[in-house]
Amino acid sequence: MNEKHAKNETGPDFLSAWMKMAGDVWGNMFRTWSDATATIKPSAASPGGASSHAQASLDAAMKTWQVLSSTMARPEIMDSMFKGSGTMPEILMQLAQSTLAGFMEFQQKWFERAGRIGKSTEAYTFEDLDENAFRAWNEIYQKEFRQFFNIPQLGLTRFYQEKVNQTLDKFNLFQTAIGEFLRLLYLPVTKSFSVVQEKLGELSEAGELPEDSQEYYQMWIKILEGHYMTLFQSTEYIETMGKTLDAMSEFSAAKNDLLEDMLNMLPIPKQKDMDDLYKDIYLLKKRIKALEKKLNH
Amino acid sequence: MGEPKVPVDLILSKLVEDADKARARAHKASDVLLGPLDSEIAATPYEVVCQEDRVKLKHYKPVTDVKLKTPLLVVYALINRETMLDLQPGRSVVETLLAHGIDLYMIDWGYPTRKDRFLTIDDHVNGYMDTMIDFIRQKHHLKKINLMGICMGGTFCVIYAALNPAKIKNLVTTVTPTNFDTDKGLLHVWMKAVDPDRLTDTYGNMSGDVMNFGFLLLNPARLMIDKYVGFFENMDNKKFVENFVRMEKWIFDSPDLPGETFRQFIKDFYQKNLLIQSKLEVGDRRVDLKNLSMPLINFYGKYDHLVPPQACELLTGRVGSKDTTDVCLETGHIGIYVSSRCQKEFAPRIAAWLAERDAPDQKPRKKKSTAPKKTKVKTAGRSKSSKRLRKDTQRSG
């Protein structure tokens, strides 16, 4: 403690002496230089020109240096500076701790969200997993992951990064929707097989199994057709179909938007440019046709 | 021990028999598939007599003396192509109409590209159709021509005839949806859940392949499985293979649908059902079905899963004409045009109906009472004895 205190006391004195000495040395050097240059007369080419401007700048710089060094050389200023520098490692440590804690918290949130995947699926039994896997995944994605794609982007490339994130988000939503849609489409196939199995069991019991393999096929295709007809009129199918089409459109739109940004770098017209042109041509043609009809009648 | 309940021996012997047959079929099929096949479609000769943008007017070369003074213009849908009406010799609506002495024109809508995305129903009806109809009228020095529409093309014909009754002498609608407020057809149910704005804004035009996939989904068991099982069972039959390939060529020849037309068709027709209520507006003009004062014959299929009878049969009760006929054929959406039985009862019936109404400046006539089945329909408490007196149900599919 005493040692530290002693260091703090000798430090400012030593530095103050060094500052004074440095100020004196450079002050003497400057005066010598000024005296030497004062003997040189300004040339005809630069009457009171470049050298006198340079001299004035040097004078001003020297004066500032002298003022600063004499101020800094005062012991109380040096003491204050030393106190400040003593707290520097503490500040740095706090900053590092805070950053690390933020990073750990961020990572912890990721792990927590990942951990909730297990919790979400726990609610579904193994038997229901097929039926509900897409819905469960959709729920997890919407609640736990989607927010990451909506984190505000910063800086020069924020606009482009935002589009990349949006495309990834729409792609994930589309994948979930198409998965659910395909699952529904496959449902009648599995159900029809089990119905056929039951029916075959009954026929077998009754001793009425058909000999012709064609009859088995006809039995299955008829049952399959019936299941599809029932499915296609169900609210669940119609809603899923609508959602899938919407998700497909949104992903396509986001993807196109991103691609158009990339195409911007190439010397070719984009689809949006062409669409604008098509619209102009369409409107012009329509006006010409209307005028032609007016003239002909 | 009694007789076994399951005749395993018989089933197994049948399986062996089937396997032998399949092997023999595959052997013959390779000869058929590797040999020359006649699968050409739309072979009847024609000449393109008028063209505007991608839209062409085909004029079929007469095969006999033209017996009807009034030419007939056939307008196909924007979905799939008009080649379906001329699928193969002997199974061709075009061929039959020509054989009955009809001067036949047909619109070929072509293949819309991205630049056509802004074309509306108004552009198709009051633009392209009007140009073609005026061309035929001028060429034949006639005030009116006969108009026949297929499916969505029929809907366009109804709109055109209601907006331009002075140019249409007789109107033939076939599998034409006009009432969209029904849950009988899956398309009518599904289209209510579709967001046409989102699709049109994203894709520009509606892809023909996507629409075709949608049509296949209407009955995947039959259209994606059973149909091809049927093909494998008959692929050693050259005629069968040729006809099958012709149909495949037609079905998967799917032009894209211009975006704005798709948007309006889904919103104003499938979702708001404006046409049958005479509330539809096309090109800032209201389409009043009461303006349909010309004779009208309306064909539809009893087993049509795309345009069910409920989507077609209201039309004749809503028009202003006193001469209307509904014909319900016991077939599906495509069977009307391509099934062997309909070859005898569909196109010849149209030719005869038009021939009866071919006299110049004919006054509206009442329906004949020779129909095998008559139905009186009352609407809004008023007896419309002249309407739908003749609702034929023919077994032809």
Domain boundaries, chain B: 46-394
A297 touches chain B (CB under 8 A): no
- Confirm if B124 and B149 have CB atoms less than 8 A apart: no
CB within 8 Å: A279 and B118 = yes
- Residue B360: CB atoms within 10 A of its CB come to 10
Helices A50-72, A2-38: inter-axial angle, 10-degree rounding:
160
For the segment A142-182, what is each residue's pLDDT rounded down to a tens digit? 777 777 788 888 888 888 888 899 999 999 999 999 999 99
| Residue of chain B with shortest Cα separation from A204 | B6
Residue with tokens 């075709």: B212
When computed from its CA atoms, the radius of gyration of chain B, rounded to whole angstroms, is 23
For the segment B114-129, what is each residue's pLDDT rounded down to a tens digit? 999 999 999 999 999 9
Chain B hits for A216, CB-CB cut-off 8 Å, are none
User: Who contacts B58 (Cβ-Cβ below 8 Å, separation ≥6)?
Assistant: B46, B47, B48, B49, B105, B106, B107, B108
Distance between CA B96 and CA B104 in Å, rounded?
A: 11
Decide if pLDDT at A62 tops 80: no
- Residue A275 Cα, gap to closest chain B Cα (Å): 7
* Sequence-ordered strand ranges (E) for A23-117: none
Give B392: exposed, middle or buried? Use CB within 10 Å, 0-12, 13-18, 19+: middle
CA distances A117 to A45, A183, A235, Å, are 84, 21, 29
Which one is catalytic: B151, B157, B312, B342?
B151
- Confirm if B191 and B270 have CB atoms less than 8 A apart: yes
Chain B hits for A289, CB-CB cut-off 8 Å, are 127
B368 touches chain A (CB under 8 A): no
For the segment B297-335, what is each residue's pLDDT rounded down to a tens digit? 999 999 999 999 999 999 999 999 999 999 999 999 999
CB within 8 Å: A252 and B203 = yes
- Confirm if B83 and B93 have CB atoms less than 8 A apart: no
B46-394 homologous superfamily: Alpha/Beta hydrolase fold, catalytic domain (3.40.50.1820)
User: Who contacts B391 (Cβ-Cβ below 8 Å, separation ≥6)?
Assistant: B326, B327, B328, B371, B373, B374, B375
A67 touches chain B (CB under 8 A): no
Q: Which residue has the higher pLDDT, A62 or B293?
A: B293
Write down the pLDDT at residue B14. 76
Q: What is the pTM of this model?
A: 0.75
B151 is catalytic: yes
Q: How many residues does chain B have?
A: 397
Q: Which of A28-32, B58-62, B125-129 has the lowest mean pLDDT?
A: A28-32
For the segment B240-279, what is each residue's pLDDT rounded down to a tens digit? 999 999 999 999 999 999 999 999 999 999 999 999 999 9
Write down the pLDDT at residue B368. 46
Q: Which of A193-207, B101-115, B256-270 has the lowest mean pLDDT?
A: A193-207
A230 touches chain B (CB under 8 A): no
Highest mean pLDDT among A115-119, B208-212, B374-378: B208-212
Write down the pLDDT at residue A131. 59
Please name every residue paired with B105 in a beta bridge, in sequence order, or none if there are none: B59, B73
Distance between CA B358 and CA B365 in Å, rounded?
A: 12
Nearest-CB residue to B202 (from A212, A249, A282): A249
Write down the pLDDT at residue A84. 54
| Mutant choice from B13, B21, B118, B218 vs A, greatest count of A C-beta within 10 A | B118
- Residue A204 Cα, gap to closest chain B Cα (Å): 6
